[in-house]
Amino acid sequence: MKEKELRRSLAVLPIGTVMRLTNLSARQIRYYEEQQLVTPKRNEGNRRMYSLNDIDRLLEIRDFLDEGINMAGIKHIYDEKARKEAQKKAQLEKPLTDRDVRKILRDEFMSVSGLVREDEVSFKHNKNF
């Protein structure tokens, strides 16, 4: 299903359409870009062009904001996501060591939000888990 992936990442929508589809103002959409939460392409005439993936991202941002999360928080979420993606991809290159497997397992546990409080660092730092 590489085809679908491609279609969803095609930058074909002007900002006017994105406004209607997301119920966001042009100001908001451009501001989120300024905050590096979305990175639309530009056409030859310097007009922003968005993909369906961009739309999804913007809808998600809108939801996060509605939940009361601020820009910094959202930025953090996406940075984390990108970091994990990159790491996962890197792992696929090299075979996993036992140590890697344990680390991944541990990370999975840690990312179950709310299970562990921020100040419970001892467990977090126990490399022998």
**Residues of this chain that bind a second copy (CB under 8 A):** 12-14, 16-17, 20-21, 43, 49
- The set of residues, in sequence order, having a beta carbon less than 8 Å from that of 74 and lying 6+ positions away, is 37, 61, 64, 65
Give the span between the Cα atoms of 23 and 25, in whole angstroms: 7
Q: Which residue's CB is nearer to DNA, number 14 or number 106? A: 14
The residue type found at 7 is R
At 107, list the tokens.
Answer: 């990370």
- The set of residues, in sequence order, having a beta carbon less than 8 Å from that of 65 and lying 6+ positions away, is 74
| From 11, 28, 53, 104, residue interacting with DNA (rule: CB under 7 A) | 28
CB of 73 to DNA, least distance (A): 8
Q: Which residue's CB is nearer to a second copy, number 12 or number 105? A: 12
Compute the CA torsion angle 20, 23, 27, 31 (nearest 10 deg): -120
When asked if residue 70 is in the footprint of DNA (CB under 7 A), the reply is yes
- Interface segment toward DNA; rule CB under 7 A; list 63-71, 81-89, 100-108, 113-121: 63-71
At 82, list the tokens.
Answer: 């990108």
CB of 27 to DNA, least distance (A): 4
CB of 14 to DNA, least distance (A): 3
